[in-house]
């Protein structure tokens, strides 16, 4: 049966996945209103400044993009896969252009035009997923050929890696690499080729660790958080304190103590610490279970997708959401080294929310064509 024939049997999308994504997004706004209130009041004289900004920019644009992703047949995006990755590379380069560059926390990761800012690395995540899904489908059985499939993949990954590490943003690079690895594994790449890519990735990771002192310090603090409690280990120690203070049921919504200038980035990368402090272990586990539910439904969509492009697209988007959630929560709980990537659908960041909602719409569109 041809791809077109399989797509002719359109049906309702995955309503369970839709409710999970909508629920997390709405809960994210609620959580952001609490986590950002103190900082927002201090710097903007409006306790709801950040949540309003998230709803207006990330929410409104994100809803529009979600509807486009939901209603436009996913096969249409295959035509735009290459232009999308070219656009992403251009945006990554524009980050270094004076006048457009917006820096924060010692990193240059945003482009600013008037009141609007865009984080190109968020666009790159989705663009690379589209590009890789289209590339692997086009190669067909040649996906097992090192020269025809693996080398083009490595070349594009190296270009993206170089631009992202110049920002620098090692957390995003790690995430993109892991998502890409899951996609090429599902595509049917030879295990020995995947192992070679893995060894090369570890070598590159070791190289980046030794080129900048603070990256190596982050690894050391991850292994021994008590070594530098007032320096680089401060954030992880405060995050663990917030999680421990929450106990089983939490201090109550809006009652976090760590958001009063003790915990760095309470509305961004560290929002899960505030969540755990206010809602406690039991309800925090429920939030983690929602991410698990998204992963399960995404896996079913990928397994039942009618063609290779749909299967790889669903795999990439699902892996993106799951791995990003794991890395973010893991860093707060000292399971993984501290990274600067947001918690999907919950952390502050308009670009992150908008691109995730668009990707979620595309994933739900694939679910409308799955086989029985």
Better-predicted residue by pLDDT, 272 or 236: 272
Residue 286 counted as domain residue? yes
Domain that holds residue 363: 8-367
pLDDT at 106 over 60: no
Can you list the positions of beta strands (E) in the chain? 101-104, 107-113, 116-118
Q: Which helix (H) or strand (E) holds 22?
A: helix 15-35
The pLDDT value recorded for residue 232 is 64
Please state, in angstroms and rounded to a whole number, the distance separating the CA atoms of residues 119 and 101: 10
The pLDDT value recorded for residue 116 is 76
Q: Please state the rounded mean pLDDT for residues 281-290.
A: 96
Q: Which residue has the tokens 């679910």?
A: 367
Please state, in angstroms and rounded to a whole number, the distance separating the CA atoms of residues 305 and 70: 15
Please state, in angstroms and rounded to a whole number, the distance separating the CA atoms of residues 169 and 367: 32
The pLDDT value recorded for residue 200 is 83
Number of H helices, E strands in the chain: 16, 3
The pLDDT value recorded for residue 358 is 97
Residue 2 counted as domain residue? no
Residue 150 counted as domain residue? yes
pLDDT at 186 over 70: yes
Residue 165 counted as domain residue? yes
pLDDT at 23 over 50: yes
Residue 232's alpha-carbon distances to 50, 238, 244, 315, in angstroms, are: 26, 11, 20, 35
Q: HSE on the CB side for 165, CA within 13 Å?
A: 17
pLDDT at 119 over 80: yes
The pLDDT value recorded for residue 5 is 42
Q: From 51, 75, 30, select the one nearest 369 (Cα to Cα).
A: 75
The b/e string for 199-223 (b: 16+ C-beta within 10 A; e otherwise) is: eebeebeeebeeeeeeeebbeebbe
Q: From 335, 280, 344, select the one nearest 317 (Cα to Cα).
A: 344
The pLDDT value recorded for residue 271 is 96
Residue 265 counted as domain residue? yes
Can you list the positions of beta strands (E) in 85-207? 101-104, 107-113, 116-118
- Three-class SS state of 323: helix
For 149-185, the pLDDT digits (tens) are 788 888 999 999 888 888 778 888 889 999 999 999 9
For 238-248, the pLDDT digits (tens) are 899 999 999 99
The pLDDT value recorded for residue 148 is 80
pLDDT at 354 over 80: yes
Better-predicted residue by pLDDT, 292 or 212: 292
What is the reported pTM? Answer: 0.91
Q: Give the count of domains, the chain.
A: 1
Residue 1 counted as domain residue? no
* Alpha carbon 189 to its chain's center: 24
Please state, in angstroms and rounded to a whole number, the distance separating the CA atoms of residues 274 and 267: 8
Q: Please state the rounded mean pLDDT for residues 252-275.
A: 93
Please state, in angstroms and rounded to a whole number, the distance separating the CA atoms of residues 33 and 333: 22
Whether omega for the bond prior to residue 168 falls within 30 degrees of 0, making it cis, is yes
Residue 251 counted as domain residue? yes
Q: From 245, 235, 256, select the one nearest 33 (Cα to Cα).
A: 256
Please state, in angstroms and rounded to a whole number, the distance separating the CA atoms of residues 244 and 281: 9
Q: HSE on the CB side for 151, CA within 13 Å?
A: 5
Residue 3 counted as domain residue? no
pLDDT at 110 over 60: yes
Better-predicted residue by pLDDT, 190 or 301: 301
For 322-338, the pLDDT digits (tens) are 999 999 999 999 888 87
């Amino acid at each position: 049966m041809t791809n077109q024939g399989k797509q002719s049997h359109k049906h309702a999308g995955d309503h369970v996945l839709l409710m999970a994504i909508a629920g997390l997004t709405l809960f994210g706004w609620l959580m952001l209103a609490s986590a950002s209130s103190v900082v927002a009041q201090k710097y903007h004289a409006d306790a709801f400044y950040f949540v309003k900004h998230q709803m207006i920019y990330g929410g409104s644009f994100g809803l529009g993009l979600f509807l486009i992703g939901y209603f436009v047949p996913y096969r249409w995006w295959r035509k735009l896969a290459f232009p999308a990755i070219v656009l992403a590379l251009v945006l990554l380069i524009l980050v270094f252009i004076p006048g457009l560059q917006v820096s924060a926390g010692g990193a240059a990761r945003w482009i600013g035009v008037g009141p609007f800012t865009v984080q190109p690395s968020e666009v790159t995540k989705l663009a690379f997923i589209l590009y890789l899904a289209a590339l692997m489908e086009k190669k067909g059985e040649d996906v097992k050929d090192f020269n025809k499939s693996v080398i083009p993949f490595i070349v594009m990954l190296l270009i993206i890696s170089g631009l992202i590490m110049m920002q620098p943003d090692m957390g995003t690079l790690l995430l993109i690499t892991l998502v890409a690895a899951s996609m090429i594994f599902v595509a049917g790449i030879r295990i020995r080729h995947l192992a070679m890519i893995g060894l090369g990735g570890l070598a590159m990771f070791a190289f980046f660790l030794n080129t900048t002192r603070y990256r190596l310090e982050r690894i050391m603090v991850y292994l021994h958080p008590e070594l530098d409690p007032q320096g680089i280990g401060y954030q992880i120690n405060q995050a663990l304190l917030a999680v421990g203070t929450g106990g089983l049921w939490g201090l109550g919504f809006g009652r976090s103590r760590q958001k009063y200038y003790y915990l760095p980035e309470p509305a961004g990368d560290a929002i899960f610490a505030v969540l755990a402090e206010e809602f406690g272990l039991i309800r925090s586990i429920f939030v983690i279970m929602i991410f698990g539910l998204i992963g399960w439904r995404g896996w079913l969509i990928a397994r039942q997708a009618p063609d290779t492009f749909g299967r790889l697209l669903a795999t990439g988007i699902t892996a993106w959401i799951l791995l990003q959630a794991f890395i973010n929560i893991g860093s707060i709980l000292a399971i993984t080294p501290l990274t600067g990537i947001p918690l999907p659908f919950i952390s502050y960041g308009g670009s992150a929310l908008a691109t995730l909602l668009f990707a979620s719409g595309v994933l739900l569109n694939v679910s409308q064509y799955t086989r029985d």
